[in-house]
């Protein structure tokens, strides 16, 4: 397994609101495939933590970006996380 040089880059980019610019500029292609999956997973996790579940749905099921191809987790578990994030929204 490759040792990652960017342990939480995806989460940090998302927390700063820069993940869309990062992805749009093609920066993801500068990383090995395994790292691309880790970045996508971290972005998805941080978006869910922030309550941005509609964006996660668009990323994975609506053709927004390449997250659907890069996501390497359990999709059933992800659906549960999306539902949990949606239920926590109070606004």
pLDDT tens, position by position, 43-85? 999 999 999 999 888 888 876 666 777 888 888 999 999 999 8
Identify the domain containing residue 38 by its residue range: 9-88
**What length is written for the chain?**
91
- The total number of structural domains that make up the chain: 1
CA proximity to 32, closest of 3, 74, 57, 69: 3
Q: What's the N-to-C CA distance of the chain in angstroms?
A: 42
Residue 64 in any domain: the answer is: yes
- Whether the pTM exceeds 0.85: the reply is no
Residue 15 maps to a domain: yes
């Amino acid at each position: 397994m490759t040792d990652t040089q960017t342990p939480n880059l995806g989460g940090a980019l998302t927390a700063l609101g820069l993940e869309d610019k990062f992805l749009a500029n093609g920066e993801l292609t500068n990383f090995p495939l395994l790292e691309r999956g880790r970045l996508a997973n971290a972005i998805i996790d941080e978006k869910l933590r922030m309550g941005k579940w509609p964006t996660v749905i668009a990323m994975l099921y609506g053709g927004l970006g390449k997250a659907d191809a890069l996501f390497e987790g359990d999709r059933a578990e992800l659906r549960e996380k999306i539902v949990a994030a949606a239920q926590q929204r109070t606004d």
